[in-house]
Structure 1
Amino acid sequence: MPDTDAPATPGPEEDVVDLLLAQHAQVEQLFLLVIGSTGDTRREAFDDLVKLLAAHETAEEEVIHPLARTLPGGNDALVDDRLDEERQAKETLRTLIAGGVDADGFDTGIILLRDAVLTHARYEERYEFPQLRQHVPAGRLRALAATVRAAEATAPTRPHPGAQSAKGNLAAGPALAVIDRVRDAIRKPSDS
């Protein structure tokens, strides 16, 4: 299973775009694992996917999208489109979580979600990330990698549609993260 805690590129040269691109690749790998496996392997991969998507999207919503709005070129519509895609993905993901990996329709739902999430990622990679590289100094991009990691460390571990703005995440995110992490701890089999 991919190590979702591994740095995208080790060392001080990692910038936020490199980090997010590496996470997009991890998301894609986890989708392949979920789709191509069964039983406990599928369940574990799906849990990892859910956690990575929740943390990744929360960090983008708190850090990247607000920054993109401030860049030259009038990016409000671009960011609004990404936020709408994220909301739709969270709703689909929440439905898949509720039914579980063994539910009727999970296979179709996970493929549709994969297609939507990967399309969303490609839009970010094609439109948002180049703007960041063009308009944000390299030192700030490196500092933003640490900011994104901090946001991910305190992010909810489950999707919460409706909290896809920076204000929504900052207001509700910490409480949702605590609830999610307690729920995760209760559901996780003990190692003893």
Structure 2
Amino acid sequence: MGHGGDVIAELTTDHREIKDLFKQFSNILPGSEDRKRLANALTIELVRHSVAEEEYLYPAVRKHLQDGDALADKELAEHARVERLLAALQQREPADLDFDRLVVKLYTEVTAHVYDEESHLFPRLRNGVHSYVLEELGNKVRRAKKSAPTRPHPGAPSTPPANKLLAPGLGMVDRVRDYLSGRGQ
């Protein structure tokens, strides 16, 4: 959940962990309860990651990069698609006919998003933003992930200041629900 380094290193490490969860998922037999466990783990990590990006990365993109508003808006639209898929997936069981189909769609969306960030957005940030700012953003992202929600909330705001105000409360409620249900344990 917190790896250290600047925002690019932090988020890239998250990407690798998410990719590993998808790989683990693909090695489990369809219909298995382990698939639900991994789908929950993917959801937890993707939601935390997305919330942290929405709170700190995309506002920095808007502030520091030429055409930053358009870039941030594109990234937020991708997040919204992923969050809708995660919400649908949370309503399914591994034996449901569309469970695996939803995971494949999720994999496709996430993989494209990661590729775009790592190939285009992150190099622009590395070249256009002072290393001190990137380091501070890494610290903020790590803090945000600790209090972020663990479940999709497609109707929640995705831009500051509303997301920064609501996310910690939603995160606390989600963690209580997770504890009581054993989700993510």
Same fold (TM over 0.5): yes
In 2, the alpha carbon distance for the partners of 1:136 and 1:62 equals 17
Q: Which runs of 4+ in 1 moved over 4 A?
A: none
Aligned residues: 181
Query: What residue number does 1:36 align with?
Result: 27
In 2, the alpha carbon distance for the partners of 1:6 and 1:173 equals 18
Give CA-to-partner distance per residue, 1:83-134, whole Å, 9 cap, x none.
0110111011100111133322111110111001110111111222112111
Q: Which residue of the other structure, out of 164, 181, 186, is the alignment partner of 2:175?
A: 181
Structure 2: runs of 5+ lacking an equivalent: none
Query: What residue number does 1:25 align with?
Result: 16
Aligned 8 A contact 2:48 2:148 in 1: yes
Structure 1 residues 85 and 186, CA, compared in 2 at 3 Å: closer, same or farther?
Answer: same
CA root-mean-square deviation: 1.8
Give CA-to-partner distance per residue, 1:53-80, whole Å, 9 cap, x none.
0100000000000000012312211111
Aligned 8 A contact 1:35 1:107 in 2: no
Q: Which residue of the other structure, out of 6, 25, 29, is the alignment partner of 1:15?
A: 6
Query: What residue number does 1:159 align with?
Result: 152
Q: Which residue of the other structure, out of 89, 98, 106, is the alignment partner of 1:105?
A: 98
Q: Which has the higher contact order (CA 8 A, sep 6+)?
A: 2
In 2, the alpha carbon distance for the partners of 1:72 and 1:64 equals 11
Structure 1: runs of 5+ lacking an equivalent: none
Give CA-to-partner distance per residue, 1:22-48, whole Å, 9 cap, x none.
111111111121232143432222221
Instruction: State the TM-score, normalizing by the size of structure 1.
Output: 0.87
Aligned 8 A contact 2:86 2:106 in 1: yes
In 1, the alpha carbon distance for the partners of 2:65 and 2:89 equals 38
